[in-house]
Chain A
């Protein structure tokens, strides 16, 4: 028996790591990976609550989150490729056309 709060704390730590990576990383691919890390943290809390309340809907919701994440990864990486073609950099500090 593991208390549910342990799972939620692990999920929170993963989410916080994702947010920190999103803030401090300068490489657009690594930022994208931080987003995936946040989604994984949320998935863990979905599954933990599903086990706690004996509801399989939580696991079905994780399935939907994974589908959306896969679609997002495909489109996002295509955008990164298009970005690299036009600007020839992966550093987000150099992608500042809309900046004042």
Chain B
């Protein structure tokens, strides 16, 4: 019962944050509602016993990634989103298709699913257990992600650095 109440409260906060992200027109407000979504998702992870995942959800997602987002929003001085007609196909076909698909999936899950239930504390994903798995069974993927992160750092530096050819062409042209 307690589990269900916590799930419902933080699930409602989560959905409210996600809808607020869509409704806000200023990117900084969208970013802050995304922080709310990520924080309440961390609580949902804790309810499922994923302690380590909940911790890195707060540290990496709600911390590092969102700071990066807010930093870029402030760096680029992003203002209120301009309302353009946009793509009419996206409005007329895309949104109803997404909503219809979501309703069908939810209906199927709620009425025809015997997937069972998740008890609180049934599986404890503490850092020791995760590390045991990560450094034995998933050692190769772990090392590959380290190379991925290295490439991403170099790519970000190269892309964000002020390119000298552009500067020169601007000065000349």
A residues in contact (CB < 8 Å) with B: 1-10, 12-21, 23-27, 29-30, 32-34, 36-37, 40, 43-44, 47-48, 50-52, 54, 56-57, 59-60, 62-64, 66-75, 77-82, 84-86, 90-91, 93
Q: How far is the CA of A13 from the CA of B102 in the complex (A)?
A: 7
Known: A2-B3, A4-B118. A30 touches B30 (CB 8 A): yes
Q: DSSP majority for the B interface?
A: helix
**Interface mask (B106-124 → A, CB under 8 Å = 1, otherwise 0):** 1001100101111110110
A70 and B60 within 8 A (CB): yes
B residues in contact (CB < 8 Å) with A: 3-4, 7, 11, 14-15, 18-19, 21-22, 27, 30-31, 34, 37-38, 41, 44-45, 47-50, 52-53, 56-57, 60-61, 64-65, 68-69, 72-73, 75-76, 78, 81-84, 86-87, 90-91, 94-95, 98-99, 101-102, 105-106, 109-110, 113, 115-120, 122-123, 125, 129-130, 133-134, 137-138, 141, 145, 148-149, 151-153, 155-160, 162-163, 166
Q: Using a Cβ cutoff of 8 Å, how many contacts connect chains A and B? A: 249
B152 and A81 within 8 A (CB): no
Measured between beta carbons, the chain B residues less than 8 angstroms from A91 are 81-82, 84
Can you list 27 residue pairs at the A/B interface with Cβ under 8 Å? A2-B47, A2-B118, A3-B117, A6-B11, A10-B44, A20-B99, A24-B90, A26-B84, A29-B73, A30-B81, A40-B61, A47-B50, A48-B48, A50-B50, A51-B123, A60-B130, A60-B133, A66-B61, A67-B148, A77-B69, A78-B156, A78-B158, A78-B160, A80-B76, A81-B75, A82-B160, A90-B76
For the complex formed, measure the closest distance between the CB of B92 and the CB atoms of chain A, giving whole angstroms: 11
Residue of B nearest to A9 (CB): B106
Measured between beta carbons, the chain A residues less than 8 angstroms from B44 are 7, 10, 44, 47
Measured between beta carbons, the chain B residues less than 8 angstroms from A64 are 138, 141, 145
A-B CB proximity, top 5 nearest: A71-B152, A78-B159, A17-B18, A16-B102, A78-B160
Measured between beta carbons, the chain B residues less than 8 angstroms from A18 are 18
Q: How far is the CA of A54 from the CA of B49 in the complex (A)?
A: 10
Of the listed residues A57, A74, A80, the one surrounded by the most CB atoms of chain B closer than 10 A to its CB is: A74
Measured between beta carbons, the chain A residues less than 8 angstroms from B81 are 25-27, 30, 91
Q: How far is the CA of A77 from the CA of B153 in the complex (A)?
A: 12
For the complex formed, measure the closest distance between the CB of B136 and the CB atoms of chain A, giving whole angstroms: 11
Q: DSSP majority for the A interface?
A: helix
